[in-house]
Amino acid sequence: MILLPDIIPLDESLKAKLEQYIGQGGKVILSYQSGMDASCSRFLLKGMGVEFVRPAAYSPDYVVAGEKVKEGLLDTEYVMYEQGLWVKPLPGTESLASIWNPYFNRSYEHFCSHRQTPVEKESGYPAITRTDSVVYFSHPIFGMYSNHGLRAYKLLFLNSLKLMLPEKLVETDAPTTAQVYLNYQSGYGRYIVHILHYIPERRFNSVDTIEDVIPLYDVRLGIRLPEKPAGVSLQPSGKKLEFTYEDGTVHTVVPKVNGHEMVVIG
């Protein structure tokens, strides 16, 4: 999977590499102006499945998720706080979510006391599209999540990712405050999983800091591997963990993560 977030224009060299990657079975997720030429007037990448129409006439506007990207979301319109693009799906392209327009844009001529004008009707343009190899978001979904933090933006992306990569490499029930890193040591023929749980806080103006370590208990971990390993253990303690190997995935439970735990599989 290759992600091109928000504003990654293409030159001929990058275009050729991406199209070769897609031709070999690779998957790509793009958003907003990614995949366009340098002038942002047309899409260059073959297989995107959409044609540029114009910048969206309304901002903020709204998105209604279709059934395939709706997990964790309500049956309602979600506000998109930054301007997107209106695009036309090409034949064979599936629309996963739709753009809905507000009654008007806020300006000196029209006022709404809330942060955005209420929704009026469907625009006729898609918010998320999908082909066999490419998912495209009409809005700058990555920058919007960074700037506004709406969980709906994250879920729309994760649900689209699941469509393209249904078999996860790493599975865990750890909270979203945890980080999981998977490395492979070819010289030893083993996999190393690092689980970290340190929560930075903005306790003063200039930087985030970590003062408290909040442990996690009984963290379930699933790692997709090509064959059953000889064993699973914690290091550097050397404690062996019970595990199962089913449908190409190693399943185990890490008893405690006190800030950091290292799991060795192999």
- Residues with Cβ < 8 Å from 56, sequence gap 6 or more? 83, 84, 85, 86, 99, 123, 125, 138
Place of tokens 């997107």: 84
Q: Is 227 helix (H, G, I), strand (E, B) or coil?
A: coil
Amino acid letter for position 2: I
Query: Is residue 37 within 8 Å of residue 8, measured between CB atoms?
Result: no
pLDDT per residue of the chain (266 residues) written in tens, 0 to 9: 999 999 999 999 999 999 999 999 999 999 999 999 999 999 999 889 999 999 999 999 999 999 999 999 999 999 999 999 999 999 999 999 999 999 999 888 888 777 889 999 999 999 999 999 999 999 999 999 999 999 999 999 999 999 999 888 999 999 999 999 999 999 999 999 999 999 999 888 889 999 999 999 999 999 999 999 999 999 999 999 999 999 999 999 999 999 999 999 99
Cβ-based burial of 50 (10 A; exposed 0-12, middle 13-18, buried ≥19):
buried
All structural domains of the chain: 2-164 (3.40.50.880), 170-265 (2.60.40.1180)
Residue 100 tokens, joined: 């809905």
The label of the residue with tokens 């690779």 reads: 26
Among 64, 6, 55, 63, which Cα is nearest to 35's?
A: 6
CA trace torsion 168, 173, 178, 184 (10° rounding): -40
pTM, entire model: 0.88
Q: What is the dihedral of CA 149, 150, 152, 156, to 10 degrees?
A: -30
* 153 DSSP β-pair partners: none
What pLDDT, on a 0 to 100 scale, did the predictor assign at position 114? 78
CA separation (Å) from 95 to 53, 131, 151? 16, 9, 21
The phi and psi torsions of 147 (rounded to 5 degrees) equal -85, -30
- Distance between CA atoms of residues 113 and 175, nearest Å: 36
Check if the beta carbon of residue 159 is closer than 8 Å to that of residue 70: yes
In terms of Cβ atoms closer than 10 Å to its own Cβ (0-12, 13-18, 19+), residue 261 is buried
Half-sphere exposure of 169 (CA within 13 A, CB side): 10
